[in-house]
Structure 1
Amino acid sequence: MTTRIDTRFAELQKEGRAAFVTFVMAGDPDPATSLSIIKALPKAGADIIEIGMPFTDPMADGPAIQAAGLRALKAGMTLTKTLGLVRDFRKDDGRTPLVLMGYYNPIYIYGVDKFLADAKAAGVDGLIIVDLPPEEDTELCLPAMKAGLNFIRLATPTTDDKRLPAVLANTSGFVYYVSITGITGSASADTAQVADAVARIKRHTKLPVCVGFGIRTPEAARGIAQAANGVVVGSALIDALRETLDSDNRATAKTVSAVADLTAALAQGVRGAKQAAE
């Protein structure tokens, strides 16, 4: 089974460059603006899009992504509407890989089998569920793989060589390496440490390794892209969005373009790494 994620990484390998992966929150600051932002991302240079599923208790997220989730929930966003967002995106774009990222609780309430069928039908390619460890693979990971979705795992600086095989056992699509210990949007990624970590993970798997957390500038993106197969940026894009909102947290004329412009600048950074490495 080859997913859009697998296809995209194969294309990028031929080009000799890393993937640029963007994260945005579904429904932030409202469903219509959110759809416009997601539609703008591939044109701005995003290779893969992670879409956050808003949840009331996002324990791994820093203040920026927490606030984005709360704005989305306040605007009436639900898991059903998130899948609707994916369907709407797919009307015009059948190629860009989409990954839903979030927590298990909303999926559990929705019903695992129903969720997987609906997600696949909507055009979702993969899942990142941050609070389901490998010991819980029968809950969602194995059924997701059976349904034809990639199940993408997080590895962290504290995931040692003893733990890595368990983390990688049923992982597909790519491995998401969290470059810092702590929550999203807090510290900056260290390129040398990341390079060592990526090399260590690659001794255990043939999957692409994408690095996220702590990457905010085109320069940082370029540095990480030289060491990894992909660069993930979320908090910086959400900050750019937030800065355009009015006093009631509503979208303005600048909201979509602010996210698209930063995406384009970061994408240039990622693409610049290819030339730097040659």
Structure 2
Amino acid sequence: MSTRIDARFAELKKQGRSAFITFLMAGDPDPATSLEIVKALPKAGADIIEIGMPFTDPMADGPAIQAAGLRALKAGMTLRKTLAMVREFRKGDNATPLVLMGYYNPIYIYGVDKFLVDAKSAGVDGLIIVDLPPEEDVELCLPAMQAGLNFIRLATPTTDDKRLPAVLANTSGFVYYVSITGITGSASANTAVVGEAVARIKRHTQLPVCVGFGIRTPEAARGIAENADGAVVGTALVEALAASLDAQGHATAKTVTAVADLVAALAQGVRGAKQAAE
């Protein structure tokens, strides 16, 4: 099975560069603006797009992403509408990989089998479900793989060599290395430490290793991209979006460009990275 994610990494490998992966919350600040932003991302330089599924109790998210989720929920965003947004995006873009990221609860309530059928037909390529450990693979990971979706796993600084094989066992698409311990948006990634961690994970897997958490500037993105197969930016984009809203938290004429412009600057950082020799 080859997915859009596999195809994109193969293509980037030929170009000799890392992936730039963006994260935004579905429905933030409202469903229509959110779709407009996501549509603008590939042109701005996003190679892969992660879309957050808003959830009422997001325990791994920092304040910025929690606030984004709350704005989305307040604007009436649901998992069904998130899938509709993917379907709408796919009408104009059949190449950019889309990954849904979030928690298991909304999927469980939606119904796992129904969700996988609907996600696949909408054009979703992969899932990152932060609260399902490898021990729970029968719940969603294995059915997702059977449905032709990549199940992308998180590895962290505390994932040691004993734990890694379990984490990597049913992972596909790429491995998402969380560069800092703690919640999103809380600290900055240390390039040297990240480089060592990526090398360690690569001893266990052939999959691309992408790094997220703590990347806010083009310089930081470039530093990470030199050591990893991809750099993931979320909090900085969500903050740029939030800063563009009016006093009531509604979208303004600046909202879409605020995000797209930052994506373009970060993408330049990633593209400026000299790929370390394989």
Q: TM-score range by the shorter chain?
A: over 0.9
Contact 1:176 1:209 in 2 (8 A): yes
Is 1:211–1:230's contact at 8 Å kept on the other side of the alignment? Answer: yes
Q: Could you say which residue in structure 1 is the equivalent of 2:181? A: 181
CA separation in 2, counterparts of 1:119 and 1:243?
31
- What are the equivalent positions in structure 2 for 1:1-278 lying under 5 Å apart? 1-274=1-274
Going from structure 1 to structure 2, the CA distance change for 1:277 and 1:253 (only over 3 Å counts) comes to: farther
Secondary structure of 2:216's counterpart equals coil
Q: Within 2, Cα distance between the matches of 1:11 and 1:252?
A: 36
Letter in 1 for 2:159: T
The offset of 1:276, in angstroms, is 8.7
Counterpart-to-counterpart distance in 2, 1:277 and 1:4: 25
Q: Please state whether the residue corresponding to 2:274 is helix, strand or coil.
A: helix
SS of 1:148 mapped into structure 2: coil
- 2:270 and 2:115 mapped to 1: Cα distance? 34
The letter for the 2-side match of 1:184 is T
CA distance in 1, matches of 2:127, 2:277: 31
- Identify if the C-alpha distance between structure 1 residues 136 and 276 changes in structure 2 by more than 3 Å, giving closer, same or farther: closer
Say if 2:227 and 2:276, in contact at 8 Å, map to a contact too.
Answer: no
Compute the displacement of 1:274 (Å).
2.8
Q: Indicate conservation of the 8 Å contact 2:198/2:209, yes or no.
A: yes
SS at match of 1:273: coil
How many percent identity over aligned positions? 85
Q: What stretches of structure 1 of length at least 5 have no aligned partner?
A: none
What residue identity is the alignment partner of 2:15?
E
| Amino acid aligned to 2:228 | A
Q: Give, in whole Å, the separation in 2 of the partners of 1:276 and 1:127.
A: 28
Residue identity opposite 1:272 in structure 2: G
Q: Which secondary structure does the structure 1 equivalent of 2:36 belong to? A: helix
- Aligned CA distance change for structure 1 residues 44 and 277 (closer, same or farther; 3 Å): farther
- State the distance in 1 between where 2:276 and 2:266 align: 15
- Local SS of the residue matching 1:193: helix
Q: Note the C-alpha offset of 1:277.
A: 7.4
Number of residue pairs aligned between Structure 1 and Structure 2: 278
Question: SS of 2:132's equivalent?
Answer: coil
TM-score (ref. length: structure 1): 0.99
The AA in structure 1 aligned to 2:63 is P
Tell me the amino acid that sits aligned with residue 11 of structure 2: E
Query: Does structure 2 retain, via aligned residues, the 8 Å contact 1:83–1:122?
Result: yes
Q: Secondary structure at the match of 2:127?
A: strand
Q: Deviations over 1:236-258 (max 9, x none)?
A: 00000000100110000000000
Structure 2 unaligned residues grouped into runs of 5+:
none
CA distance in 1, matches of 2:114, 2:134: 22
**Do the aligned partners of 1:226 and 1:277 also contact (CA within 8 Å) in 2?**
no
Write the deviation string for residues 122-181 of structure 1: whole angstroms up to 9, x where unpaired: 000000000000000000000000000000000000000000000000000000000000
Q: Separation in 1 of the partners of 2:248 and 2:19?
A: 35
- C-alpha change, 1:154 and 1:58, in structure 2 (3 Å) is same
Are the counterparts in 2 of residues 18 and 270 from structure 1 also a CA contact under 8 Å? Answer: yes
Q: Output the CA distance in 2 between the equivalents of 1:143 and 1:160.
A: 27
CA distance in 2, matches of 1:277, 1:34: 38
Question: Structure 1 runs of 4+ off > 2 angstroms?
Answer: 274-278
